[in-house]
Amino acid sequence: MVTYDDGDNAHPSARAGFLTRTLFSTHHKTIGLQYFWLALASVLVGMVLSTLLRIHTSWPDTAIPFLAAIENTPERYAAMRLLHGSLMVFFVLTAAPQLGFGNFFLPLQIGAEEMAFPTLNLLSFWMTVTSLGGMTASFFLPLATGINVWLASAALFSLAALLSALNFTTTTIEMRAKGMTLARMPITVWAWFINAILSMLIFSVLLAGSCAILSNRLLGSNFFSAASFLAQQPQNLVRQGSLPILWDRLFWYFAQAEVYVAMLPCFGIVTHLLATFSRKPVWKERLVILALCGVGLVGFCVWGYHMFATGMNPYAPLVFAVLASSLGVPAAFLLASWFGTLWNGRVQLSTSMLFTLGFISLFIAGGLSGIFLARQDLATAAVSEGFVTGHFHLVMGVAATFAILAALFFWFPKLFGRRLREPLGKIHFWMTFAGVYAIFMPMHWLGLLSQSRMLPEAQRIAFASSGATIRIFVTVATIWTVAAQAVFVFNFASSLLRHRTVEENDPWRATTLEWTIASPAPEENFGGVQPVIYRGAYEKSGESADDLVPQHLAPELLAQRAL
Amino acid sequence: MRGTTTGREIDLIIENIGGNSGNSPPAGGKGGDDNGKCRRKGQPSPGRYYTGIAVGIVSILMFFMALASAFIVRKGSGDWVPVHIPLVMWFNTAILLASSATLEMARKRLANSNFSGFDNLWLLTTILGVVLRIGQVVA
């Protein structure tokens, strides 16, 4: 059922106090921006941590000021990796594309004044902030306490993600403007919607798992007893040194699908930007929507994909291998649509479009190594830490970051009323693009080399020697890529500090509703006027028309414009 | 209760149960065949609460499915010690089911504007809730 929003959830008035307008505002744009700042801070810290980790791996004896101040133990190194992963996965890849851009632009793109449950949205944001504080604090605490604090923070983040998912789903179903039918929704909205449904399904499981393991640690319960469970398994099913742990299963039920939670909004953003910057409708738009649903559905079912080595039933890997491989089908649909949209398009190579194309490149490069990981036999032979790290950083971490940057360059005028500098953006793109390939491609080779222990002694020594060189190369590439982000930070800060604001509402000639209002987006989204939608987000006015038509333009006005 | 903010919300819910007038979206481009519904301007959307609850139930279901699966797997291990369930727990379960039924009956009476019937069933549900709480303490 659709009930068109009429602005009854409008934001607090301008007369409200400073804190009500900023930190405790329930307005979707304010909360979206706060998620964005949270993600930006997290990604900068996360990158610094990754550089420290790489330096420590290549030159373990180097005295690093920050690391020298803390305990220099393997546990501390593992804790730093955990903090890097937590920041990047939870507060960057989950927060930025869905909670940041989604909160800001979902109501704007469907013609609503607000999210369905604004107060719940604010609660969700502050729970996320608390979770970030907890995960960061856990790094500095003694190990046993730190793990408890991390688990409690993960549970809190899960609860916040569930509330956000509820808000996104309800807003999309209930708050669409007149004429914004499901078929006319922009692909970005579809991606946020499907992603919210997937989030609801998987964060519940992480919440339950975190509660159970916390209960084990604090209340003396015994949910996850690896030893007793292992003792009950037939010996022929248990591999040497493996532990079929229940916690693993619950965790991977969440963690494997979390990859798609990070990627789904990026698929939506990339599809949207390709159409906008190619001046062409999305090729096979409905197939893209089906592919997004397919990614969500299959992504929900492949939780055993990374557990081939944990003593599963011998038939289970076959099922998960087939499911994981079948993810290639919706991925192929998406790729076909992206190339179909580009085909014969009037491509505008803006920085946003460059990052979009970079996303496609990384998605293909990282996805190809996923084929090896999806097969149990190949995975057993080739999988090692380096191979998996290279694979998921390319296909999930870096690709998603490229989509986030593409979206930032695209929506910056609507977010801040200014434009990022294009020349600096392009320099930043090429430096980063070269850097990430130089980091993560050699990691695949490192992973394969680490399997060389099965080779004769002479060959093993030769491989180990080349491995050390590659490790140093990867570290240098990491330092290069992190340094390249200084260009972005300068571009971002100087653009924000510039007084000159954009004058036009729609600098990219985009068709969706957010571009019908002023830049930056005003406090009242549509000024109390309900927008009416007449067509899909990626339509031309007729067979002979050569450009996309805005969604809100009435047919009469369109006819007048044609004259 | 009527006349207060809560009463206004309930009135809106009643209106929503009764259904409101349909209004087709403007045609023009593709995808204009989704028959939406339009509320009178100036009224909150009660539909979002229904949708929100329905969506929330999915999350809650998954949460308990995860815990239930952990319970089943754990029960299959050798060192599982079964807990004796006191008789009063079965009584509590019956009370819980009965209170759900009376609450649903109360909601239907409210939807039909039968306020006295609603008051009686609401009171009964409250009493059952108190009895359940006592039963839990006893168990």
pLDDT over 60 (residue A90): yes
Q: What is the mean pLDDT of chain A?
A: 85
Give the model's pLDDT for residue B109.
Answer: 94
pLDDT in tens, B63-73: 999 888 888 87
Chain A interface disruption, residue of B21, B40, B51, most A CBs within 10 A: B51
As a whole number, mean pLDDT of residues A397-426 equals: 94
**Chain B contact for A184, CB < 8 A?**
yes
Mean confidence (pLDDT) of chain B: 75
The Cα A362–Cα A335 span in angstroms is 12
Q: Which pLDDT value is given to residue B16? A: 45
Residue B93 falls inside a structural domain = yes
Question: In angstroms, what CA-CA distances link A299 with A199, A201, A504?
Answer: 11, 11, 41
B78-89 tens-digit pLDDT: 677 777 888 899
Mean pLDDT check: name the lowest of A128-132, A189-193, A302-306, A548-552: A302-306
Of B51, B56, B77, the CB nearest to A229: B77
Cα–Cα dist A147/A131, whole Å: 13
Q: Which residues of B touch A226 (CB under 8 A)?
A: none
Residues on chain B touching A228 (C-beta within 8 angstroms): 77-79
Q: Would you say residue B66 lies in a domain? A: yes
Asked, for residue B28, whether it belongs to a domain, the answer is no
Measure CB to CB from residue A1 to each of B37, B64, B69 and give the nearest one.
Answer: B37
Q: Are residues B72 and B102 in the same domain?
A: no
Same domain? B103 vs B72: no
Q: Which of A60-69, A223-232, A316-325, B41-50 has the weakest average pLDDT?
A: A223-232
Interface contact flag, A178 B38, Cβ < 8 Å: yes
Check A184 against B31: CB less than 8 A apart. yes
Residues B13 and B75 placed together within one structural domain of the fold: yes
Considering the domain architecture, whether residues B61 and B97 belong to the same structural domain is answered as: no
Note whether A552 contacts B: Cβ–Cβ < 8 A: no
pLDDT (tens digit per residue) in A430-453: 999 999 999 999 988 887 777 665
B114 part of a folded domain: yes
Find chain A residues with C-beta within 8 A of B17's C-beta. none
A262 vs A96: CA distance, rounded Å: 9
Q: Which residue of B has its CA nearest to A7?
A: B42
Single-letter residue type at A497: L
B99 shares its domain with B138:
yes
Asked if A169 lies within 8 A of B38 by C-beta distance, the reply is no
pLDDT at A213 over 50: yes
Chain B: give the shortest CA distance to residue A382, in Å.
Answer: 31
Chain A residues with beta carbon closer than 8 angstroms to that of B78? 228, 231-232
pLDDT band (50, 70, 90) for residue A24: confident
Per the domain annotation, does B94 fall within a domain? yes
Asked if residue B139 and residue B87 are part of one domain, the reply reads yes
Residues B111 and B89 both lie in one domain = yes
Asked if residue B29 is part of any domain, the answer here is: no
Q: What are phi and psi of A395, to 5 degrees?
A: -80, -30
Beta bridge partners of B22: B37
Distance of CA A141 to the CA centre of its chain: 28
Q: Which residues of B touch A (CB under 8 A)?
A: 23, 25-34, 36-39, 41-45, 47-48, 51-52, 55-56, 58-67, 69-70, 73-74, 76-79
Confidence of residue A313 (pLDDT cuts 50, 70, 90): low
Instruction: Name every chain B residue with its beta carbon within 8 A of the beta carbon of A176.
Output: 36
Using pLDDT thresholds of 50, 70 and 90, give the confidence band for residue A5: very low
Predicted local distance difference test score (pLDDT) of residue A19: 76
Q: How confident is the model at residue B32 (pLDDT cuts 50, 70, 90)?
A: low
Task: Compute the half-sphere exposure of residue A406: CA atoms within 13 Å on the CB side of its CA.
Answer: 30
Give mean pLDDT, residues A186-213.
Answer: 93
Which of A110, A181, A221, A238 should be substituted to probe chain B, the one whose Cβ sees the most B Cβ atoms within 10 Å? A181
CA distance linking residue A330 with residue A291, whole number of Å: 5
For residue A42, give Cα distances in angstroms to A49, A90, A306. Answer: 10, 9, 27
- Each residue's pLDDT tens digit, A265-289: 999 999 999 999 999 999 999 999 9
- What is the tens place of the pLDDT at every residue in A460-483? 677 767 778 888 999 999 999 999
B75 & B125 share domain: no
Q: Is residue B27 part of a domain?
A: no
Q: CB-based contact (8 Å) between A250 and chain B?
A: yes
| Interchain CB contact of A173 with B (< 8 Å) | yes
Higher pLDDT, A100 or A306: A100
Q: Annotate A98-119 with DSSP letters as a single string.
A: IIIHHHHHHHHHHT-SS-S-HH
| Side-chain-facing half-sphere of A514: CA atoms under 13 Å | 28
Per-residue burial over A224-257, b = 16 or more CB atoms within 10 Å of its CB, e = otherwise: bbeeebbeeeeeeeeeeeeebbbbbbbbbbbbbb
Minimum distance, in Å, between the CA of residue A441 and any CA atom of chain B: 37
Q: What average pLDDT does range A510-528 have in this prediction?
A: 90
Task: Look at A539 and B30 and tell me if their CB atoms are within 8 Å.
Answer: yes
How high is the pLDDT of residue A115?
94
The answer on B102 and B74 residing in a single domain is no
Task: Check whether residue B7 and residue B44 sit in a common domain.
Answer: yes
A174 in contact with B, Cβ within 8 Å? yes
Long-range contacts of B11-20 (CB under 8 A, 24+ apart): B12/B43, B12/B44, B12/B46, B13/B46, B13/B49, B13/B111, B14/B110, B14/B111, B14/B113, B15/B46, B16/B46, B16/B47, B16/B50, B17/B111
| Chain A environment of B33 (Cβ under 8 Å) | 181, 183
pLDDT at B36: 42
Same domain, B89 and B53: no
pLDDT band at B25 (very low <50, low <70, confident <90, very high): low
Q: Domain limits at B138?
A: 83-139
Do B118 and B58 belong to one domain? no
pTM, whole model, 2 decimals?
0.86
> Which tokens hold the place of A558?
């369109």
What does the DSSP assignment read for B67-135? Answer: HHHHHHHHHTSTT--PPPPPHHHHHHHHHHHHHHHHHHHHHHHHHTT-HHHHHHHHHHHHHHHHHHHHH
When pLDDT is cut at 50, 70 and 90, the band that residue A98 belongs to is very high
**What is the number of domains present in chain B?**
2
A155 touches chain B (CB under 8 A): no
Lowest-pLDDT range, A367-381, A384-398, A533-547? A367-381
Q: Per the domain annotation, does B32 fall within a domain?
A: no
| Other beta carbons less than 10 A from residue A72's beta carbon | 13
User: Can you tell me the distance from the alpha carbon of A84 to that of A136, in angstroms, rounded to the nearest whole number?
Assistant: 10
User: Are A166 and B55 in contact (CB < 8 Å)?
Assistant: yes
